[in-house]
Structure 1
Amino acid sequence: MKTSALILAAGATLASAHYTLPSINSDGTWVHVRQAKNWQDNGFVGDVTSSDIRCNQLRSGTSGALSVAAGSSVKVSVNPNAYHPGPFQSYLAKVPEGQDVNTWDPTGAVWFRIYAEQPKFGSQLTWLSAASYNINIPSCIAPGKYLMRNEHIALHTAGSRGGAQFYLSKAPTNLVAFPGAYSATDPGILININYPIPTSYKNPGPATFTC
């Protein structure tokens, strides 16, 4: 079974709620996750062109990498929970040979998406409002060291440009850069989810990686 070492750094969620994503596979705080700038006030990133959209991290380094098997899942915790409407998404970036997973800076088109949550449609759009999300690591991911970027995008005030709020963490395919992967006018970011009720939703970002 292939094993990939992942390290996560806390980033932003696209949501107007206030929360953090402080741990992976742990009930502790900032475990396997780089501490985020919003760790005290649970704030968000609102500018998709800011370098903070990458990870919103306060400092480099982490408490240690997490070893996981390709094909298994990891639990991403949200504190207190992702209570605003909007999608949860996860990305990976492979650390180059010779680079330290604790200090490598993931700039440029290095990220690929492995999970994009879709809403349920009805009288309103609804997404899972949870204190944790189980994210599957694709079984065909090559062994190596990776950074994992998780985000929740809050859409309750996304009817006007710049209204979406991002809550992040970060612990061959479509590779994208942050900033750069999102535009403030992407249909999954600039959207009124209240009225008229949308009948479809397009997640911002590239196609989700599949084996």
Structure 2
Amino acid sequence: MKSFPLLPLLATGSLAHYYFPNTIVDGVQSDDWEFIRQTQNVPGSEPVEDLDSNLLRCFEASDRPAADVLSVAAGAEIGLKSSNSMGHPGPSLFYMARVPDGEDITTWQPTGDVWFKIDHYGDQGGEYPQFETEMTEIYTTIPSSVPDGNYLLRAEHIGLHVAGAPQFYIACAQLSVSGGGSGNPSPLVSFPGVYTMNDPGLSVNIYVADGPYEYPGPEVWSG
């Protein structure tokens, strides 16, 4: 008879919730909301749970203060720091959206098919998908061949501790990318729209599933 861990099933309260107010580049941590659009779950830390909600884009507060733009080089590593230890098991995913020329990055809204995935990770293998928990920072690398320009970087951690009820912890950083290349990021997807509860990576019961975890969304574009 198999036994399954109980702690992740119990860690459903607000003490396990979190948001992402800080960026980290070259070991330098930003001020709270300096480069990240302040999210709606401050201070409560609650996640997005509705797959049809426009909050799946950036989870930004309607009355948020304007955030600055972080200058980064293509190929650089960038991290986001969470407000609390990330106690829910689940994957981390990163998307980018190019801000059209002439648009103000601080107010531009990423509607329609504008997002491309640059990273996903978290599954550590095992008899059923095992995910790291209790970390306070997640990192990705800006693709070296992404064209120069202004971008939103969308970071997402998905809590899978309750089967069939994924929780989305989201933040969008405002970036000015330089030193890039001539890549053609694809495929482009939309939020909401790209995720459905038919996705195995969202409907999975991580405590009984066998085999590798299937990340939701499109394939990773690396350039």
Please tell me whether residue 90 in structure 1 is matched to residue 94 in structure 2.
yes
Q: Which letter does structure 1 place at the counterpart of 2:20?
A: L
The runs of 4+ residues in structure 1 deviating greater than 4 Å are: none
Contact 1:118 1:201 survives alignment (8 Å): no
1:186 aligns with 2:199: yes
Q: Percent identity between the aligned chains?
A: 37
Matched letter for residue 175 of structure 1: L
- Aligned length, in residue pairs: 193
Unaligned runs of 5+ in 1: 1-14
**Given residue 70 of structure 1, which amino acid in structure 2 is its aligned partner?**
A
| Aligned AA (1:184) | M
> Is 1:105 aligned to residue 118 of structure 2?
no
State TM-score, norm by structure 2. Answer: 0.82
SS at match of 1:77: strand
In terms of Rg, which structure is larger? Answer: 2
Among 215, 218, 223, the alignment partner of 1:203 is 215
Is contact 1:27–1:77 with CA below 8 Å preserved after alignment?
Answer: no
Residues 33 and 62, structure 1, Cα contact 8 Å, conserved in 2:
no
Match of 1:29 among 14, 29, 32: 32
Q: Which stretch of structure 1 is more off in the superposition, 123-132 or 87-96?
A: 123-132
| 1:163-182 matched pairs, under 5 angstroms | 163-171=165-173, 172=184, 173-182=186-195
Alignment of 1:74-89 (within 5 A): 74-89=78-93
Q: Distance in 2 between matches of 1:86 and 1:182?
A: 15
In structure 1, the partner of 2:177 is none
- Corresponding position of 2:178: none
1:90 alignment partner AA: F
Q: How do 1:115-194 residues align onto structure 2 when only pairs under 5 Å count? A: 115-129=119-133, 130-157=135-162, 159-160=163-164, 163-171=165-173, 172=184, 173-194=186-207
2:58 matched to 1:55?
yes
The 1-side partners of 2:84 and 2:122 are apart by 22
**Unpaired segments of 5 or more residues in structure 2?**
1-10, 174-183
Relative contact order higher in (CA < 8 Å, ≥ 6 apart): 1
